[in-house]
Amino acid sequence: MNPLISISTTLLAIVCCLCQTVMGADNYDDNQKVNIDVYYESLCPDCIGFINKQLVPTYPKLSNIMNVQLFPYGFTETKRVNHSDGTYDLEFDCQHGLRECIGNWIHSCVLDSQPINKSIEIIGCMSASKLSANPAAAAEECAKTHHFEWPAVKDCAASPLGRGLSMKVGQRFLALKPKPWFVHWIVLNGQHTEDIQKQSDSDLHKLVCDTYKGTKPTECN
């Protein structure tokens, strides 16, 4: 089942690209920070494993020396259906079904409305929840512990804004070179290699510390 969502071209024109920046402590050079981009799907088991085992434990310790961007889309297929009145519908078909589409939209709306540190907390909570297979239920549960406005995120995910954000993430995913053949897909400082992928999966903390060219923080010792 593919939901069809009517979205005006005017609205989509003003939807910004999903992109979060992280502010670090004054004694760390932003130009030297390690940039980690994570392309994933909300219900992909490997993606959930990376978020829970690597990203969530690493980011709070090394946020002063790393920037993180999250892109929830993966191998979703988006089809545009044009109408004669100038509007169009978007049809989404996600690899793990409709619930994954909903999860991707919720993640996109969280990322659009929250700073990256809070977004990682929320998405990590959803991924670790016993309700993770039902992203809406997991998000509602996590709102109680991480204190974000679930009704606003829910409304975003159910609206043209959520679909527009997801479409923008999809455009970025499809433009990646080399082209991903699995997710999660890790890009470090603009590059993806097999070695980067393996290191990020086994020890993201060490990879970030080893890559950082400035004075290492005590967390890297």
Residues facing residue 6 across a β-bridge: 89
Token pair in block for residue 1? 């089942």
Q: Identify which of 2, 171, 187 has the alpha carbon closest to the alpha carbon of residue 90.
A: 2
Walk me through the domains of the chain, giving residue ranges and CATH numbers. 4-195 (3.40.30.10)
| Token pair recorded at residue 23 | 């502010």
Closest to 56 in 3D by CA, of 142, 127, 133, 114: 127
User: What per-residue string of b and e applies to 86-108 under the rule 16 or more CB within 10 Å gives b?
Assistant: eebbbebbbebeebbbbbbbbbb
Contact in structure between 8 and 87 (CB atoms under 8 Å): yes
* Secondary structure of residue 21 in the 3-state scheme: coil
pLDDT at 11: 39
* Residuewise pLDDT in 10s, the chain (221 residues): 444 343 443 334 334 443 443 333 345 677 799 999 999 999 999 999 999 999 999 999 999 999 999 999 999 999 988 989 988 888 899 999 999 999 999 999 999 999 999 999 999 999 999 999 999 999 999 999 999 999 999 999 999 999 999 999 999 999 999 999 999 999 999 999 999 999 999 999 999 999 999 999 999 99
For 4, the enclosing helix (H) or strand (E) is strand 4-7
CA-wise closest residue to 113 among 162, 171, 56, 48: 162
